[in-house]
Amino acid sequence: MTDEIHQAFAHPEARAAAMAPADPPDRLSLRDHIVAADIGAFQQERGQEQRLRFNVVVELARGGGDAGDDVDQILSYDRLTEAIAAELAAERLNLLETLAENIAARILAEPQPCRVFLRIEKLDRGPGALGVEIVRSRAEAAPVTAAEVPHPVVAYLDNATIAAPDLSARLDRLAATAAPVVLAVGLPDTTRPATGDGPCQTRIDLLAIEQNAWVLASRDPRLNVVATRTELDWAMKQGNMVVWAPSKLVLDTPGAPGSGEDGVALAAWLAGELAALRLVVHGPVSLPAACRVPVEPA
């Protein structure tokens, strides 16, 4: 038991050595790599970068010694730091456990690794380091084939369209397309609180848009409100028509619009994120000047 406790709190490299067979594999290690990131489940952690310390040990498959001195033939240290940077940039996460799983999976996608030991610690949440340590093996991981997500049509509906008597007919026309449909709305016509504080106001505006999304959903039984990328991907795979609630994706995605005032701009951003076939805009609103997908009026 003493050895197990010692290994549990030792450097990941020591644990890798203790768990290895008599003929140990080669190992690549990254020690005390510190990065500032916005992560955490608590409200006070949002919008506040904190230091994360990464320690990584990768056990490598034997390559027969034929790599020579060619950096392209080995697992570079850069691949470890790039895996960390890529997952931190992909989306804002609440849990270190999720971040660790994603980084380990990205490293194991390389051809050389057999097993990954990964420790992540928060350095600014208390007097000590708070963290998680995982071990993941290529041999234990079942191969995963990601199902292709179809390209949707994103449609923005202004408030007059939401309240229009012909809403059902408009939805019928959208549903008749061969692609799944994601509906987006803007701010309601009702008065909302004004705070004068940018981040707080953005949250208030996004919540007001979500209220408007539920108003739209109440007007047609085909519609459900979805908030996460997982829900969006599932709905698109099923060919469902859904209404987007923007708060989670906007707040958790680096590079997302920093304001909730312009619903059309949010819809254009979503269309780009989903690689939509086109953005269809209902109502006399200003079309976005820059959009990664074709934009057309309804």
- Phi, then psi, of 273 in degrees rounded to 5: -65, -35
Give residue 280's pLDDT.
Answer: 96
CA distances (Å), origin 285, targets 123, 191, 208, 246? 47, 19, 18, 19
Task: Label the pairing between strands 50-60 and 113-122.
Answer: antiparallel
For residue 207, name the pLDDT band (cuts at 50, 70, 90).
Answer: very high
CATH code of 2-137, in short, is 3.30.1130.10
Spatial distance between the Cα atoms of 244 and 226, rounded to a whole number of angstroms: 5
Give residue 104's pLDDT.
Answer: 93
Q: What is the per-residue pLDDT across 7-30, written as a single tens digit (0 to 9) for each? A: 655 777 776 777 666 677 788 889
Q: What is the per-residue pLDDT across 59-100, written as a single tens digit (0 to 9) for each? A: 887 764 555 555 556 788 888 999 999 899 888 899 999 999
Q: Which residues, including other chains, have CB under 8 Å from residue 291's CB and lie 6 or more apart?
A: 268, 271, 272, 279
Structural domain spans, the chain:
2-137, 153-297
Give residue 67's pLDDT.
Answer: 55
SS3 content of the chain, % helix, strand, coil (to 5): 35, 20, 40
Return the structure tokens found at 224: 């459900």
Q: What is the per-residue pLDDT across 26-37, written as a single tens digit (0 to 9) for each? A: 888 899 999 999
Spatial distance between the Cα atoms of 272 and 291, rounded to a whole number of angstroms: 7
The pTM assigned to this predicted structure is 0.71
Assign 295 to helix, strand or coil: strand
Cα angle 199, 200, 202; round to 5: 65
The class level of CATH for 153-297 reads alpha beta
Segment 153-164 mean pLDDT: 97
